[in-house]
Amino acid sequence: MKNKQVLSKFLISMATTAVILAGCGNSKAGNESEENESEENAASSSKESVELLNVSYDPTRELYEEFNKEFAAHWKKETGQNVTIQQSHGGSGKQGRAVIDGLEADVVTLALAGDIDEVAKAGLTAEDWQTRLDDNSTPYTSTIVFLVRKGNPKHIKDWGDLAKKGVSVITPNPKTSGGARWNYLAAWAYGDKKFSGDEKKIKTFVGDIYKNVEVLDSGARGATTTFVERGIGDVLIAWENEAFLSLNELGKDQFEIVVPSISILAEPPVAVVDKVAKKKGTEKVAEAYLEYLYSKKGQEIAAENYYRPRDKEVLAKYADQFPKINLVTIDDDFGGWKTAQEKHFNDGGTFDEIYQPK
């Protein structure tokens, strides 16, 4: 009896192995047929349904969940085609790497131009991608603000307060989190104004802030969780949209937003990944997807998710939501991403110097 049972179990496992082998064959066949279909689609563009993969960074989940539904309806109305959009979220750098390594994203919507530059460098999209859409290919922007505990017990008003002794700061690691690089640069911009460009003093100032950092999470969401859920730190340096989201999702009675005197215009850009879209035959819908971000509806959704819309009218409508801040930009004040990346975040850059003084 017992032997038979074990025997049958073993046979089952053998059978499963056979199924796998068969399955491998099938999946290959499946891919091939898909390829054929997509060729057809490219030729006639009359396929019934199409799939898009949007590879994005951490804090855009809610935005794109809403936007995808809206776009699917819009596309159905326009072309009669069903479009399903898959989302993938993670740290911006990690996501950029995944796309380079072969994650077949039709569009990338990352935290900073530098990450899409890497995708372009790998030959997946055109080097001039950032000029293909309006406003630096950035349909919505944000900025960096502070989230503090209710009543602001440490009286944090501006960047200078973050460098004071006894203030515990939470921000993600700029090395791993694209979003966190904006945080770093915003602090740098304040130091730049305050010490009128004296680099040594700016370094000391930014260094003092980062010495107050208690937990350096690897991603923006991790940092928010540390601050909000674990109750660690007096202030979280966060994107405006993340700060609003935590306020609304996790408790208005527990936190307050503090707007610093100076901050940076954070531009999370978007791009079609040409090589993949071409292969899948989804160029048209991918382009339409990104362009729809610039439409009134797309801009409204961005504003509702606390991103600052580019559209003046929509921005005016949501003016109460977004306080006026003196904003520096990456291109005017830091000479573009490439320069900023090399100077501050590459190995041996100013960020590394904080932890390993030269």
Partner 1 sequence: MAGHVPLSYGSRKTVKKAAEEPLFIRVFLTVVAFIFLFLFLVLPLAAIFIKAFEQGIHVYLAAITEPDALAAIKLTLLVVLLTVPVNALFGIAAAWAITKFDFKGKSLLTTIIDLPFAVSPVIAGLVFVLLFSTHGLFGDLLFANDIKIIFAIPGIVIATLFVTLPFVARELIPLMQSQGSSEEEASLTLGAGGWKTFWLVTLPNIKWGLLYGIILCNARTVGEFGAVSVVSGHIRGLTNTMPLHIEILYNEYQFSAAFAVASLMSILAIVTLIFKNMIEWKANQHG
Partner 2 sequence: MKSRFKKHSILPGFGLSLGFTMLYLSLLVLLPLSMIFVNTASMSWSDFWSTVTEPRVVASYKLSFGAAFVAASINMVFGVLIAWVLVRYSFPGKRLIDGLVDLPFALPTAVAGIALTTLYAKTGWVGQFLSFKVAFTPLGVTVALTFIGLPFVVRMVQPVLQNFDKETEEASAILGANRRQTFIRVIIPEILPAALTGFSLAFARALGEYGSVVFIAGNMPMKTEITPLLIMTKLEQYDYAGATAIAAVMLIISFIMLLFINGMQWWMNRKFAHY
Interface pick for partner 2 out of 45, 79, 88, 176 (rule CB under 8 A): 176
The answer to the question of residue 16 lying near partner 1 (CB under 8 A) is yes
Q: State how far the Cα of 235 lies from the Cα of 224, in Å rounded to an integer.
A: 10
278 within 8 A of 107, measured Cβ to Cβ: no
Nearer to partner 2, 98 or 288 (CB): 98
Tell me, residue by residue from 23 to 62, as one string, x for binding to partner 1 by CB under 8 A and - for no binding: xx--xx--xx-xx-----------------x----x--x-
Nearer to partner 1 (CB atom), residue 61 or residue 154: 61
β 270-272/107-109 pair status:
antiparallel
Nearest Cα neighbor of 213 from 227, 194, 192, 193 is 227
Q: Is 215 in the site for partner 2 (CB under 8 A)?
A: yes
Quick one: how far is CA 345 from the chain centroid?
17
Binding mask 64-103 for partner 1 (x = CB under 8 A): ----------------------xxxxx-------x-xxxx
Report the C-alpha dihedral over residues 273, 274, 277, 279, rounded to 10 degrees.
-130
Q: Does 173 bind partner 2 (CB under 8 A)?
A: yes
Helices (H), 80-144: 92-101, 113-121, 134-137
Site for partner 2 in 227-246 (CB under 8 A): 230-232
CB neighbour burial string for 209-230, b if at least 16 within 10 angstroms, e if fewer: bbebbebbbbbbbbbbbbbbee
* 3-class state of residue 342 by DSSP: helix
Among partner 1, partner 2, none, partner that 13 touches (CB below 5 to 8 angstroms by kind): partner 1
Q: At what angle do helices 178-194 and 92-101 cross, to 10 degrees?
A: 130
Give least dist CB 241 to partner 1, A: 14
The three-state secondary structure class of 345 is helix
Q: Binds 87, which of partner 2, partner 1, none (CB < 5 to 8 A, cut-off by type)?
A: partner 1
Chosen from partner 2, partner 1, none, partner binding at 61 (C-beta under 5 to 8 Å by type): partner 1
CA distance 143 to 153: 24
Residue 231 in contact with partner 1, rule: CB under 8 A: no
- With residue 215 as reference, give the H or E element that holds it: strand 213-215
Q: Interface with partner 2 by CB under 8 A: which residues?
A: 91, 93-94, 96-97, 100, 118, 173, 175-176, 213-218, 226, 230-232, 345-347, 352, 355-356
Contacting positions for partner 1 (CB under 8 A): 2-3, 6-7, 10, 12-14, 16-17, 20, 23-24, 27-28, 31-32, 34-35, 53, 58, 61, 86-90, 98, 100-104, 122, 219, 221-222, 224-225, 228-229, 246, 249-250, 279
